[in-house]
Structure 1
């Protein structure tokens, strides 16, 4: 798949085909597989200096067959690291709130778990030293494939220039070739897999667009 050659409708269709393939694979994962992957991801990310030495980490709560983050969130919280978690807005933009433990998470729309504390505003992610994003796939240039709402492309444009930006994935979700992309799509610096961290070439930071 070569992103540069797609017309816009072709890009959309190619993204949807890749999403379907990834989600079909994830649908075969069983609860024990998901739990062991979540523990492995915790250990991988705690070994990454940009995460373990951060004062503020923006992350997410994995639900369903997403890569699990519960063990990681608790470990970061116990270390005294300020953890920001997303609150999805009706327009698919993302607000942020502080994680204070699993008891602070409440059920929200679309099957999500969100913190019940005060909202900090969409730009709060700019205070994070490390930003850990959900995704479905990534290529070796760091181009990330999300679920199609554009929420985390907006997040990436709001991160601090020096922030570490990492997508959290299951094994086999770094794809050969290129993830189909559009102008607004954002890249990450690394992917965390249960087997370890994969770093990508450094890319220019994408500033917020007016």
Structure 2
């Protein structure tokens, strides 16, 4: 229970910091993250990338998704299932997104199943923070922990976070799935232990 309470406190503090960020700073961070991700060697060679559509004050992924799609990368995006697991469908440009549950935007294409993420060459996930061991702090629903459990050990999994959200240590629970990298606006891709 101690880890759960600590995670909850971290979520509240991180969301408050993100809300206090200047919109111009958020936009600049999104551009830096987009450029850093597009320069990652694994991503330059990837045929399929699983990613997500940002919401609220998350680092904006819309420019990144469009850039990937325009260069011919097959992009898979999540669709939230009623059990909080993630299904996946193809991204066919900004006009292919439709409103989903909880204020999410989801692809309108037919779902390919929860295991579709296992076909991705790179998996990009949201996070409120990531530590240097790869522990990822999400929003608490477990959706991405389930998705990451389906990804092979050789696949690059990376969380997109703002500067200051790559930290030394986060509380971890047995069900938490680690990511192999974090991407920040100022450091770019940081490979994790």
TM-score using structure 2 length: 0.97
Secondary structure of the equivalent of 1:18? helix
Q: Matches of 2:91 and 2:25 in 1, distance apart?
A: 25
CA-based RMSD: 0.9
The answer to whether the 8 Å contact 1:129/1:160 transfers is no
Q: 1:112 aligns with which of 95, 100, 104?
A: 104
In the other structure, the counterpart of 1:148 is 140
After superposition, give the CA deviation of every residue in 1:122-172 in whole Å (9 maximum; x if it has no partner). 000000000000010111111111100000000110012321000000110
How far the C-alpha of 1:24 sits from its partner, in A, is 0.8
The answer to whether 1:183 aligns with 2:183 is no
Q: Counterpart in 2 of 1:50?
A: 42
Gaps (5+ residues) in structure 1?
Answer: 1-8, 202-210
Q: Provide, for residues 154-208 of structure 1, a one-character-per-residue CA deviation record: whole Å limited to 9, x for no partner.
A: 01100123210000001100123x211111101111101111111112xxxxxxx
Q: Where does residue 14 of structure 2 map in the other structure? A: 22
1:100 aligned partner: 92
1:81-123 superposed Cα distances (whole Å, 9 cap, x missing partner): 1000000111110000000000001111111111101000000
SS at match of 1:16: helix
Distance 2:78 2:57 in 1: 18
CA-to-aligned-CA distance 1:64-96 (integer Å, 9 cap, x gap):
100111111111101111000000111110000
